Amino acid sequence: MTPNNRFILLTCLAAASVDNHATTTAFSHPARTLSRSPPLTTTPSSLHASSAMPPEEQQRSDSNPSTRFGSPLSDSIKDANKFAVDFLKNTLFDTFFAGSDRDYARFYALETIARVPYFSYLSVLHLYETLGKWRRAKYLKLHFAESWNEMHHLLIMEELGGDANFIDRFLAQHVAFGYFALIVALYLINPVEAYNLNQDVEEHAAETYDTYLKENAEKLKLLPAPQAAIDYYVDGDMYMFDEFQTSCEMRRPVIENLYDVFVAIRDDELAHVQTMEMLQTEFDVSSIHDGECEVDIF
């Protein structure tokens, strides 16, 4: 074969190879011909927000749990929650625990029931995390700190003799069991409603203690503080106590007598009220120990 013929043959083979490559590429998988999608945003996952939400709306919803973790409540639902709590207080507690000698039993029942919502919140949050749906470590720590606080209230009431009668323990524990199931259901359906209902319960608790303090101030100031209160408020590790102070307040109760103990418990309940109210409109929570509050830690 002459050099000219060889050159012509190589040219034809090269042209055929290029044409065959173009034909193969045209019928390859479509995904290979598409441009790469932009990276996903790094905002925390949401249980309720739509994945198709425009970026500007997603950004606006970041601080509002009504679009990311529940739905806002109407005034009628808030009124219904308040009516239910007032009804149970007036019909059950005010009747069953009537009399000045029944105060500690009332407080024991109140604290047995009041800590239940935090168990319910933690149970649902652990379920979401186990299923890979949602993770909010701050919520887990906050609600555990709240349950830790309520547990010490309960220990104080037990030391004061509030659990002495079987019927009081039976009533409080069975109401708490049903209340746990109710709050789990509400928290699964709409966490905002669960927080609102607990806000009403904590407001009732704070009002109960405040009334008791006003009516028995002089007597309480003459009585010693229970050891459980001293162990918690004075000698205990205050880390968990600080963790439920979402207002970034560095509280250190002074405990010298029983009056001071009930003042501290009332103020704890008010702190819970503030947190429950905040979680209905704010998505994030502050922690003193995470460096998010400008306070002097001594």
User: Does 180 have pLDDT greater than 60?
Assistant: yes
DSSP 8-state code for residue 31: G
Which of these ranges, 67-71, 232-236, 265-269, has the smallest mean pLDDT? 67-71
Where does the pLDDT of residue 294 fall: very low under 50, low under 70, confident under 90, or very high at 90 and above?
low
Q: At what angle do helices 191-221 and 75-88 cross, to 10 degrees?
A: 40
pLDDT in tens, 245-266: 888 778 999 999 999 999 999 9
Residue position matching structure tokens 């996952």: 45
Q: Name the range with the highest mean pLDDT among 12-26, 137-151, 282-296.
A: 137-151
Higher pLDDT, 107 or 41: 107
- Report the alpha-carbon distance of residue 40 to residue 265 in Å, rounded: 46
Which tokens hold the place of 239? 């880390």
* Nearest-angstrom CA–CA distance, 298 and 280: 32
Question: In 10 A of CB 142, how many CB atoms?
Answer: 22
Q: Which residues of 103-116 are buried (b: 16+ CB within 10 A; e: fewer)?
A: bbbbbbbbbbbbbb
Looking from the CA of 129 toward its CB, the CA atoms found within 13 Å total: 12
Residue bearing the bigger pLDDT, 41 or 63: 63
